[in-house]
Amino acid sequence: MSMQSENRFQAIISHAKEYGFVFQSSEIYDGLSAVYDYGPYGSELKRNIRDYWWKSMTQLHENIVGIDAAIFMHPTTWKASGHVDNFSDPMIDNKDSKKRYRVDHLIESHAEKLSKEAGEALITEMEALLAKEDFAGLKQMILDHKIACSVSGTVNWTDIRQFNLMFETEFGAIASDNPDDNKVYLRPETAQGIFVNFLNVQKTARMKVPFGIAQVGKAFRNEIVARQFIFRMREFEQMEMQFFVRPGTEGEWYKYWKEARLQWHLGLGLPAEKYRYHDHVKLAHYAKEACDIEYEFPIGFKEVEGIHSRSDFDLMQHQTYSKKKQQYFDADVDPATGKPYGNYVPYVIETSIGLDRMFLLILSHAYDEETINKEDGTTDSRVVLRIPNKLAPVKLAVLPLTKKDGLPEIARDLMDSCKPFFRCFYEEKDAIGKRYRRQDAIGTPFCVTIDHQTKEDGTVTIRYRDTMEQERILLSKVRDLVIEASL
């Protein structure tokens, strides 16, 4: 990562705290590593992203419905899904510092210090070794490249081994000689809650294949080295959709959702050149095809969303372990045989996007330190968040020019007419320029100033965040203007 990119990333982190977007969890007790709280504007932005995704999945698709599954699930769920045996990452310890690293993170951090060509070559070499699970080769690569511990500065490493990332806890208050009797897990993904409810949803919502089930919820992973602000956390939120399809059609549906999900991002006005696909070299145990949608953060291109062709692995596993059929009867006629397709276990295409990563993506895109050329030849500066209007935490700031002459009353009437439709902010304090700057910093697209002319002709000054241009419009037009611009 270049110094400029590092400085920008640190500036975004500082801005997020200063303006109430993200706080370190339990900060008064020196914080909890890789756990964060969302502040007043952060919680609004996060909710707006969540609602935008939910609407795009469920409201705009007649064949996708939603559920909200519990975090706790029967422990056999995770045995069936493969998480108990396979949800592991290769780890390595430094013998001098006793610090533990995830191998790919250790190598990626070193690659960021190299030239672009050398860094990409190192990552390619690492991915090839990971795909073969050649842990001895990975350790030798770390030694050959003299990749050192950031604490001790030495290359005195242990052998590489797997480490399971699931959090364990005990369920209930009954003591048992066998600790496994009461063991449950905090879910490491939200998908399994969808799979175990496949038939419940299909029957009650009267869904016909192909159809999808969407869910937003918390997931938990015991990351050994959680880093890069909210990009990788131990407690995070996922927005997932599992799309159930007829076997043999999974290839075309995988291509469909791969393109559709990228278009969802671009539909927010985000720049296409900041996105790319990354096809997986090493596939997960359940996958036929898989790719990531990556975005160019200040910390480089990183995964934001995954699209996976999961075959029938999950439903078949739950059928085996639960001994309850997970089959769907398809009455449509197969043109090859002239008979109904009949009973089968559907294949699944998954789209999974990290809500916290999407939040960081929006901040990374929106944050701008702008120099302003003034009419008198001098310059000024401002920090502005160019958040897409539909996602902005506050859509409209209502600013009476003074605290007297009936202006606050007019402003309050405007607030009352707008509040049922979108979030507004009211402020009387300080010069109007300072109030504008504060709204720029939280990403408010529109500011309306109520002044003495308003009392005369019913017009107000509306100021646009991105251009800072101002114009007079009718007070009665403000609400509809903001609504239309935020669709």
Taking phi first (over 0 means left), then psi (-120 to 50 degrees means alpha), and beta for anything else, what does residue 288 get? alpha
Tell me what the mean pLDDT of segment 292-301 comes to: 95
Whether residue 59 is found in the same domain as residue 101: no
Taking phi first (over 0 means left), then psi (-120 to 50 degrees means alpha), and beta for anything else, what does residue 30 get? left
Confidence check: pLDDT of 298 > 80: yes
Confidence check: pLDDT of 353 > 80: yes
Supply the pLDDT for residue 226: 63
- E runs forming strands in 312-428: 328-334, 339-344, 347-354, 367-373, 379-385, 396-400, 424-426
Model pLDDT for residues 25-71, shown as the tens digit of each residue: 999 999 888 899 999 999 999 999 999 999 999 999 999 999 999 99
pLDDT, mean over the chain: 92
Whether residue 132 is found in the same domain as residue 185: no
- Evaluate whether 149 touches 97 at the Cβ level (below 8 Å): yes
Whether residue 8 is found in the same domain as residue 129: no
- The CA distance from 222 to 229, in Å, is 16
- The CA distance from 221 to 237, in Å, is 11
Does residue 295 lie in a domain region? yes
Whether residue 214 is found in the same domain as residue 339: yes
Cα-atom radius of gyration of the chain, to the nearest Å? 26
- Evaluate whether 478 touches 418 at the Cβ level (below 8 Å): yes
Supply the pLDDT for residue 99: 87
133-137 contact pairs (CB < 8 A, 24+): 135/90, 135/159, 135/160, 135/161, 136/160
Pairing status of strand 396-400 against strand 424-426: parallel
Supply the pLDDT for residue 281: 79
Q: CATH no. for residue 462?
A: 3.40.50.800
Residues 6+ apart with CB under 8 A from 414: 398, 448, 450, 460, 475, 478, 479
pLDDT classification of 446: cutoffs 50, 70, 90? very high
User: Given 111, 142, 164, which residue is the final one in a domain?
Assistant: 164
* Better pLDDT: 132 or 218: 218
Residues 6+ apart with CB under 8 A from 309: 250, 251, 254, 287, 288, 289, 290, 347, 348, 349, 350
Q: Residue 218 forms beta bridges with which residues?
A: 237
What is the secondary structure of 262-293 as a DSSP string? HHHHHTTT--GGGEEEEE-SSPPTT-SEEEEE
Backbone angles phi, psi at 338, to 5 degrees: 75, 10
What's the first-to-final CA gap in the chain, in angstroms?
36
Whether residue 255 is found in the same domain as residue 221: yes
* Better pLDDT: 241 or 101: 241
User: Given 140, 164, 188, which residue is the final one in a domain?
Assistant: 164
Does residue 80 lie in a domain region? no
How many separate domains does the chain show?
3
User: Given 164, 195, 212, which residue is the final one in a domain?
Assistant: 164
Supply the pLDDT for residue 38: 98
The answer to whether the pTM exceeds 0.85 is yes
Reading the block at residue 198, the tokens are 């496949």
Whether residue 155 is found in the same domain as residue 186: no
Confidence check: pLDDT of 224 > 80: no
Tell me what the mean pLDDT of segment 193-197 comes to: 97
- Evaluate whether 347 touches 244 at the Cβ level (below 8 Å): yes
Supply the pLDDT for residue 87: 78
Nearest to 94 by CA among 154, 33, 175, 146: 154
Whether residue 58 is found in the same domain as residue 119: no
Tell me what the mean pLDDT of segment 291-316 comes to: 95
Supply the pLDDT for residue 469: 96
Q: Name the residue range of residue 419's domain.
A: 394-485
Q: What letter does residue 232 receive in the DSSP assignment?
A: S
Reading the block at residue 16, the tokens are 């997020």
Does residue 15 lie in a domain region? yes
- Evaluate whether 281 touches 269 at the Cβ level (below 8 Å): no
Whether residue 357 is found in the same domain as residue 278: yes
pLDDT classification of 130: cutoffs 50, 70, 90? confident
Supply the pLDDT for residue 377: 77
Confidence check: pLDDT of 285 > 80: no
Supply the pLDDT for residue 100: 85
- Evaluate whether 26 touches 219 at the Cβ level (below 8 Å): no
Tell me what the mean pLDDT of segment 83-92 comes to: 82
Whether residue 159 is found in the same domain as residue 195: no
- The CA distance from 240 to 396, in Å, is 31
- The CA distance from 283 to 288, in Å, is 7
What is the secondary structure of 429-462 as a DSSP string? SS-HHHHHHHHHHHT-SEEEEE-HHHHHHSEEEE
Confidence check: pLDDT of 379 > 90: no
- The CA distance from 177 to 140, in Å, is 43
pLDDT classification of 179: cutoffs 50, 70, 90? low
Provide the sign of the torsion angle of the four alpha carbons 10, 16, 17, 22, taken in this order. negative
Please name the helix (run of DSSP H) or strand (run of DSSP E) that holds residue 44, with its range, or none.
Answer: helix 40-54
Supply the pLDDT for residue 216: 98
Separation of CA 460 from chain center: 38
Does residue 383 lie in a domain region? no
Whether residue 289 is found in the same domain as residue 426: no
Please name the helix (run of DSSP H) or strand (run of DSSP E) that holds residue 474, with its range, or none.
Answer: strand 470-474
Pairing status of strand 424-426 against strand 379-385: unpaired
Does residue 372 lie in a domain region? no
Does residue 83 lie in a domain region? no
- The CA distance from 345 to 347, in Å, is 7
State how far the alpha carbon of 214 is from the alpha carbons of 63, 250, 312, in Å: 11, 18, 18
- Cα dihedral 88/68/292/148 (nearest 10): -40
pLDDT classification of 420: cutoffs 50, 70, 90? very high
Q: CATH no. for residue 94?
A: 3.30.40.230
Does residue 93 lie in a domain region? yes
Q: CATH no. for residue 62?
A: 3.30.930.10
Whether residue 212 is found in the same domain as residue 324: yes
Confidence check: pLDDT of 440 > 60: yes
pLDDT classification of 152: cutoffs 50, 70, 90? very high
For the chain, give the percent of residues with pLDDT over 70. 97
State how far the alpha carbon of 486 is from the alpha carbons of 332, 392, 397, in Å: 42, 9, 14
Whether residue 49 is found in the same domain as residue 184: yes
Tell me what the mean pLDDT of segment 265-293 comes to: 90
Q: Residue 462 forms beta bridges with which residues?
A: 448, 471
Does residue 455 lie in a domain region? yes
Tell me what the mean pLDDT of segment 140-164 comes to: 92
